[in-house]
Structures are given as structure tokens and as C-alpha cells.
Structure 1
Amino acid sequence: MRIDCPYCGARDLREYTYGGAAAYLQRPEAEAEAAADDAAWDAYLHLRDNPAGRTRDLWFHEPCATWLEVERDTVSHEIFATRALAGVRT
């Protein structure tokens, strides 16, 4: 699979590190963390959707140190769009 980096062009998947789904997880509130039960923490830390089909994922491109949002199909591996995340380039 090749991912199109806005700065470097189309690059091999081996140059990227997967960063997870683009939808952000909701961490338990700081004041409620002590009261959160084991099931709540298990769900937060370990339970993730694994959708088949179109998704939005975060990928880190090592050579130019850029975080990208990639819209792709997890079944066909077709990539529909990529964009650099504003203000996150390191």
C-alpha cells in the first residue's frame, strides 16, 4: 500500500506508523478517574472498533515527521484522501 504524503508524494507504507482511528477516545474525567470501575478502564484501554470498509485513520510519516489523516477502505486498501494535520508537523 502507498500513502500520498502532501510533502513527499506517494510513499511506501513502511515509512509510516499507524496512529489509530481519527475519532478521538474519551478518557474518563480527571475527577472521576479514581471512581471509575475496572470495566470502564478496560473499555477505554482495550475495546476498539475494527470496521470493515471506509475509515479515517491517523498515520505518522517518519521521513518528514508529519501526522496525516488518511481516509481509506480497510477491505480493498483503496485510499480516498490524505491531509496533513494543521499544527502537528514536528
Structure 2
Amino acid sequence: MLIPHPRLGLRDSQEFTYLGDASLLDRPDGMAPGSDAAFAEYVYLRDNPAGIHRELWFHEQGDRSWLVVTRNTITHEILGAEFARDVALARKETSS
């Protein structure tokens, strides 16, 4: 499986480590009132969707960047990839 790295072009998926759902970028505020339940859900509960899914991948054997990869979990087709930092900043801007 080839991952289209935004800076380096197509890279073999063996260069990467899969870390799970990209929703991990939305870490809850651990200091907010009643945050125990939100943080427990963040740490322990994950969806396992069939179809289009956004995932976190770490380019361990390359430039050590974090990517959000959009992938079809049924066919394993990679639909795109972007830097996780850019995704997190865009989410922060839209939530402000």
C-alpha cells in the first residue's frame, strides 16, 4: 500500500506506524469540570467503521511527520493524506 506523503510523494506504508482514528487530534481538556468521562471515552472508546475513514499515521522510517490519511477500510484504497498539524490547526480555527 502506498501513502501519498504531502512533501515526499508516494511512500510505502511499511515506512509508517498506524496509530488509529484521527479523532485523537481532538483531545478533551483534562482540567475542565466533569472531564473524567470525556477523557475516559477519548482513551478507551473507538469506532471501527467500514468504509471511508481518517486515520493517524506516523512516518517513522522517514521524516518523522504525523499524517492524517483518508482511507477506505474495505478496499484499503488511500484517498489522500495531509499533515496532522495542518488538520489540527484548521479544526482549532473553525472551533474558535
Q: Which has the higher helix share?
A: 2
User: Residue by residue, what CA displacement relative to the aligned partner does 1:20-67 show, whole Å, maximum 9, x if unpaired?
Assistant: 21123554743546xx47xx83x4432210000001111111211111
Aligned to 1:60: 58
Give the alignment's TM-score, normalised by structure 2. Answer: 0.68
- 1:1-90 aligned at under 5 Å gives the runs 1-24=1-24, 26-27=27-28, 29-30=30-31, 31-32=33-34, 36=36, 41=40, 43-62=41-60, 63-86=62-85
Q: Distance in 1 between matches of 2:3 and 2:11?
A: 5
Q: Which has the larger radius of gyration?
A: 1
Aligned residues: 82
Of all paired residues, the percent bearing the same amino acid is 40
Give the alignment's TM-score, normalised by structure 1. Answer: 0.71
Q: Distance in 2 between matches of 1:57 and 1:68?
A: 8
Q: Distance in 2 between matches of 1:10 and 1:28?
A: 36
Structure 2: give runs of 5+ residues left out of the alignment: 87-96
CA, structure 1 residues 86+27, in 2 after alignment: closer, same or farther (shift >3 Å)?
closer
Q: Distance in 1 between matches of 2:18 and 2:11?
A: 14
Letter in 2 for 1:16: F
Letter in 2 for 1:79: I
Q: Which has the higher strand share?
A: 1
Letter in 2 for 1:55: H
